[in-house]
Amino acid sequence: MISMTKKRFREKTLPAAIMVGPVTLWLILLVAVPLIYILVMSFCSIDEFYNVTFHFTVDNYKHLADASYIKIYVQSLVIALLTTVICILVAYPFTYIIARTKSRFKSLLYMLVIIPFWTNSLIRIYGWKSFLGTSGWLNSVLMKLHIISQPLDLLFKQGTTVFGMVYCLFPFMVLPLYTAIGKLDSTLLEASSDLGAKGWKTFLTVVLPLTASGIFSGCIMVFIPCLGYFFVSNILGGGNSDVIGNLIERQFKSGNNWPLGAALSIILIVITLVLVKLYQKTGGDMDSLGV
């Protein structure tokens, strides 16, 4: 009997433990523990020297309803919404073309979207800053060409932040769209045209509904990171277009109020979960989110 359990352990349990163990350990150490730490932290308070003390309080959550914070939540949502809408409008036609072209440049076009993705986005955003600045490339070239006489004031506006967000998150919209549009059976388009639908009608009644899942997952993958990409608004927005991510960063760094930062993080996580749940409820495919 004992040898049976030993054998079972050797043949079933041990290999399973070896395979699943490291991942479990990884998830516990790097995901579960920090999350619990943040959750506990959000109920802690700080003393007069800004040290975190384990004194239970819900004050941090009460602070979240401050008018100045609410203004930034709204601003965050506006920026994220704008970014998402612009991403859809630009990415959809673009992806439609590269996903359905029979050209041999198809994979090249696709790579053009993916390659910038391999460079750190922080570096790329700094690049845009020096490109768009008053003494940057764009302005000096335009002035040399006498198209403008004074440098354009392009930086530190909400629009610049949205631009940077669109730039950073564009591939996240393209990837799920590419999958959805690529799956579209072209005989369905022929059938629609055969039955009397004009091009735009086919788009509305067949193409759009059948690629909606791609649009939804693209929206989730753009909207949610947008709320947290503080470095984009830091570098390009110059403090005029903060997102929730900026609030969190500030509490952990200059504000030195870790419990409040933790509470803000929890709020961000809750917003994310609600949106993902909503996505799932509307029939979204969890696989295409990569989760």
Partner 1 sequence: MKNAIVDIKDVNKIYGTNHVVKDLNLQVEEGEFLTLLGSSGCGKTTTLRMIAGFEEPTTGSIKVEGEPIEDKEPYERNVNTVFQSYALFPHMTIFDNVAYGLRMKKVPKKEIKERVLEMLEMVQLAGFEKRYPSQLSGGQKQRVAIARALINRPKVLLLDEPLGALDLKLRKQMQLELKRLQKKLNITFIYVTHDQEEALTMSDRIAIMHDGVMDQIGSPTEIYERPATKFVATFIGETNVFDGTIRSIENGRAVVSIENGEITSSGSVEEGVEKNTGFAVNEFVTVSVRPEKMHFSPEPVDGFNVPAMVKDYIYVGSVIKCIAVLPNGNEIKMEKLAGEELPAIGEKIFICWVPEDAVLIHSLDNRFYQSMENIKLA
Question: Which of 168, 206, 227, 236 is close enough to bind partner 1 by CB under 8 A?
Answer: 206
Question: Which of 101, 107, 140, 205 is close enough to bind partner 1 by CB under 8 A?
Answer: 205
Residues 211-250 that bind partner 1 (CB under 8 A): none
* 180 touching partner 1, by CB under 8 A: no
Burial class (CB in 10 A: 0-12, 13-18, 19+), 100: middle
Compare residues 2 and 195 and give the one whose CB is closer to partner 1: 195
Residues 44 and 259: beta-carbon distance below 8 Å: yes
- The residue written with tokens 């768009």 in the block is 132
How many angstroms separate the CA atoms of 154 and 54, rounded? Answer: 46
How many angstroms separate the CA atoms of 223 and 233, rounded? Answer: 15
* 103 touching partner 1, by CB under 8 A: no
Instruction: Count Cα neighbours of 212 within 13 Å in the Cβ-side half-sphere.
Output: 11
Please, what is the minimum distance in Å from the beta carbon of residue 180 to partner 1?
12
Please, what is the minimum distance in Å from the beta carbon of residue 190 to partner 1?
6
Q: Identify the three-state secondary structure at position 185.
A: coil
Q: Identify the three-state secondary structure at position 46.
A: strand
Give the count of residues interacting with partner 1 (CB under 8 A): 17
How many angstroms separate the CA atoms of 274 and 148, rounded? Answer: 47
* 188 touching partner 1, by CB under 8 A: yes
Phi, psi at 45, each rounded to 5°: -125, 175
Question: Which of 18, 194, 200, 253 is close enough to bind partner 1 by CB under 8 A?
Answer: 194
Question: Which of 52, 210, 276, 289 is close enough to bind partner 1 by CB under 8 A?
Answer: 210
* 198 touching partner 1, by CB under 8 A: yes
In the DSSP assignment, the letter for residue 236 is I
Please, what is the minimum distance in Å from the beta carbon of residue 205 to partner 1?
8
* 201 touching partner 1, by CB under 8 A: yes
How many C-beta neighbours within 10 Å does residue 183 have?
Answer: 12
* 197 touching partner 1, by CB under 8 A: yes
Candidates 13-21, 121-129, 200-208, 260-268: pick the segment binding partner 1 (CB under 8 A): 200-208
Longest CA–CA span in the chain (Å) reads: 91
Compare residues 55 and 201 and give the one whose CB is closer to partner 1: 201
Q: Which residues bind partner 1 (CB under 8 A)?
A: 185, 187-188, 190-198, 201, 205-206, 209-210
